[in-house]
Amino acid sequence: MKATSRAATGASVPTDPADAAKAFGSTVGEIWKSMSGLNLPLPAVSKLQADYLKQATDLWNLNLREANPDAAASKAADKRFAAQEWAKNPASAYIAQMYLLNARTLMEMADAVEGDVKTKQRIRFAVQQWVDAASPSNYLALNPEAQRKALETKGESIGQGLKHLWNDIQQGHLSQTDESVFEVGRNVATTEGAVVFENELFQLIEYKPLTAKVYERPMLFVPPCINKYYIMDLQPENSLIRYTVEQGHRLFVISWRNADDSIAQYTWDQYIENAAVRAIREVQDITGSEQLNTLGFCVGGTILATALSVLAARGEQPATSVTLLTTLLDFSNTGVLDLFIDETMVQMREMTLGPQSPGGGSLLKGQELASTFSFLRPNDLVWNYVVGNYLKGETPPPFDLLYWNSDSTNLPGPMYCWYLRNTYHENNLAKPGKVTVCGEKVDLGAIKAPTYVYASREDHIVPWDGAYQNTQVLTGAKGKIRFVMGASGHIAGVINPPAKGKRSHWIGGTNAVPADAKEWFAKAKEHPGSWWTDWAAWLKSHAGKQIAAPKGYGNRSHKAIEPAPGRYVKQKA
pLDDT at 345 (0 to 100): 92
In this predicted structure, what is the pLDDT of residue 562?
Answer: 98
The answer to whether the CB of 566 falls within 8 A of the CB of 204 is no
Residue 39: per-residue pLDDT? 64
Question: Is there a catalytic annotation at residue 298?
Answer: yes
pLDDT value for 373: 83
What domains, with CATH codes, occur in the chain?
A: 4-152 (no CATH), 193-365+410-570 (3.40.50.1820)
* Cβ–Cβ under 8 Å, residues 298 and 325: yes
- Residue of 225, 298, 417, 438 with catalytic role: 298
- The helix-helix angle for 42-65 and 90-112 (nearest 10°) equals 170
What is the chain's alpha carbon radius of gyration, rounded to the nearest angstrom?
27
Render each residue's pLDDT in the chain as its tens digit; 573 residues: 333 333 333 334 444 433 443 444 455 455 555 555 556 666 777 787 788 888 888 878 777 665 444 444 444 578 899 899 998 888 888 899 999 999 998 898 888 888 888 888 888 899 999 999 999 999 999 999 999 999 999 999 999 999 999 999 998 889 999 999 999 999 999 999 999 999 999 999 999 999 999 999 999 999 999 999 999 999 999 999 999 999 999 999 999 999 999 999 999 999 999 999 999 999 999 999 999 999 999 999 999 999 999 999 999 999 999 999 999 999 999 988 888 899 999 999 999 999 888 888 899 998 888 888 888 888 888 999 999 999 999 999 999 999 999 998 999 999 999 999 999 999 999 999 999 999 999 999 999 999 999 999 999 999 999 999 999 999 999 889 999 999 999 999 999 999 989 999 999 866 689 999 999 999 999 999 999 999 999 999 999 999 999 999 999 999 999 999 999 999 988
Closest by CA to 395, choosing from 233, 160, 53, 81, is 160
Three-class secondary structure of residue 294 per DSSP: strand
- Residue 508 has a pLDDT of 87
Helix (H, G, I), strand (E, B) or coil at 171: helix
- Give how far Cα 200 sits from Cα of 270, 271, 300, 475, Å: 10, 10, 17, 34
Pairing status of strand 202-207 against strand 193-198: antiparallel
Going by C-alpha positions, the residue among 513, 532, 459, 501 that lies closest to residue 244 is 532
What pLDDT was estimated at residue 13? 41
Q: What is the reported pLDDT for 335? A: 86
The C-alpha atoms of residue 309 and residue 273 are separated, in whole angstroms, by 12
What percent of the residues of the chain are helix, what percent strand, and what percent coil, each to the nearest 5?
50, 15, 35
Question: Residue 32 has what pLDDT?
Answer: 53
